[in-house]
Amino acid sequence: MNRLTANVLNVAIAAVLATGLSACNRNADAGASNASADAGSSADAGVKYAKVVSVDPVRSTVNNPKQVCHDETVTHTEPPKDEHRIAGTAIGAVVGGLVGNQVGGGKGKTLATVAGAVGGGYAGNRIQASRQHAQVTSTVERKCETVNNTSSKIVGYDVRYEYNGVTRTVRMDHDPGDRVQVQEGVTAVSDAH
């Protein structure tokens, strides 16, 4: 054999051997992969799930009262200082009595004085009433009141699930989805979506 033919033959044998080793490695990797999948299946085989029938949120209501304030215009009416008009009546009576005293003599003078005092008192009262008004003032006052401020939050979930034909309820801190994982004694342990 010549040298060139021997070299070509050696390269061909090396290529065949390399291809065979590569195929052997792929088969070995596939076997290991199948073995780990079988191990996972056997681990999952012990996990049991129950079908969730219903999930009801459990709520807690809290009242945090708060104070609400607003400004309001308030009108105050103060009666006059002399609401019975005593000053006007008294001044009118004195003036009327003095004027009546100037009229007539004897008993007529006395009657004129009394009549002048009564008439003057009445006139003084009316004059003061027409000039005297109640004092009206307006102020802005802050009015506050306490109102309820309720809020509701979810504190858990009552989960009804069915396992082996029996329906049970458990309270969980989350919504488990369509199924729950159960352990021996049929206790729900976690969620599985």
The partner residues of 105 in beta bridges, in order of sequence, read none
Nearest to 88 by CA among 133, 127, 135, 130: 127
pLDDT in tens, the chain (193 residues): 566 566 556 666 766 565 655 544 555 454 444 444 343 333 455 788 889 999 999 998 888 888 999 999 988 877 767 666 777 778 877 877 777 778 777 777 777 777 777 888 788 778 877 777 777 888 898 999 999 888 888 999 999 999 888 899 999 999 999 998 887 665 555 544 4
Distance CA 143, CA 69 (A): 6
Give Cβ neighbours of residue 153 (< 8 Å, ≥ 6 apart). 59, 60, 62
Helices 107-131 and 86-101: crossing angle, nearest 10°? Answer: 150
Q: Where are the domains of the chain?
A: 1-46, 49-65+150-193, 69-147
Task: Decide: pTM greater than 0.85.
Answer: no
Handedness of CA 96, 100, 101, 103 (dihedral sign): positive
